[in-house]
Amino acid sequence: ETQWLGLKVLKTQKGSIEELVGYVEFAAFYKNIEEGQLHENSKFIYENGQWYYLDGEILDPLKFNRNEPCWCGSKKKYKKCHGK
């Protein structure tokens, strides 16, 4: 019953060429009974021409300033969109 509402990629970091490891920090927004957020720093490995998810570290949810653009891309301020 989870509905995924949006994804915000915050940072990418490429590992060494020898290791073929990369990291992606993201926040995924969802609605189940109420709205929530998954903020994670994920580790990926490159094998056979594909990137594969290895594991991730769950981070504290992002906090948004009331006057910054909403994460959903509506071009509204956060306070007038998902910050209600």
Percent of the chain whose pLDDT exceeds 70: 98
pLDDT score, position 15? 72
pLDDT tens, position by position, 17-46: 677 899 999 999 999 988 899 999 999 998
pLDDT score, position 19? 76
- First CA to last CA distance, the chain: 23
Is the pLDDT score of 4 beyond 90? Answer: yes
Rg (CA), the chain: 15
pLDDT score, position 16? 67
What's the pTM? Answer: 0.81
Q: How far lies 63's CA from each of 2, 50, 53, 54, 56, in Å?
A: 22, 33, 26, 27, 20
